[in-house]
Every structure is written in structure tokens, then in C-alpha cells.
Amino acid sequence: MMFDWSSAGWGWMFFGGIFMLIFWCAIIGLIIWGIVQLVRKGQPSSSATKTHYMETLKERYAKGEISKEEFDQMKKDLLS
């Protein structure tokens, strides 16, 4: 009996479609991830910003620009 080649490809076509869908979803996901990383790179993180402000606050206190009470209040505000 001869092999019927016309019906042999349907299963592979189904799996090929699934793999193509997975491939394009991965490509689109990588593009979105890359855009998000580029946008985040331009913005400082909140912990880096707090650290910068704390250093400025300490410098102002060391120079005598603010009192101990003002320093403590501003520190409390920054850390909360």
C-alpha cells in the first residue's frame, strides 16, 4: 500500500503555526522589554534620589545652614 503524502503535512503545519506564534510573541516581548529598559535608564531610581538628598541634607547640617531639629525633621520626611 502506498503512503498518502497529502495528509502527512497537516500535523506539522499545526505545530509550525504554534511555533511561529511563540516566535513572534518572543520577538515582540523583547522589543517591549528593550523599550522599558531604555525609558528606565533615563530616570534615577528612588533610592538613588533619596541617597542624594540625604547627602545634601548632611552637608547643609554640617555647614550650619539648618538646625538639629530641622535636620531631624527633614531626615524623617525623606525616609518616610
**Euclidean distance between CA atoms 58 and 62, whole angstroms:** 6
Task: Report pTM.
Answer: 0.44
**Contact present, 57 and 78 (Cβ < 8 Å):** yes
| Whole-number pLDDT of residue 78 | 83
Q: Is 3 helix (H, G, I), strand (E, B) or coil?
A: coil
| Whole-number pLDDT of residue 46 | 65
**Contact present, 60 and 66 (Cβ < 8 Å):** yes
CA angle 56-67-78, nearest 5°?
A: 45
Over the stretch 14-38, which tens digit does the pLDDT of each residue have? 677 888 999 999 999 999 999 998 8
| Whole-number pLDDT of residue 79 | 81
Average pLDDT in the chain: 82
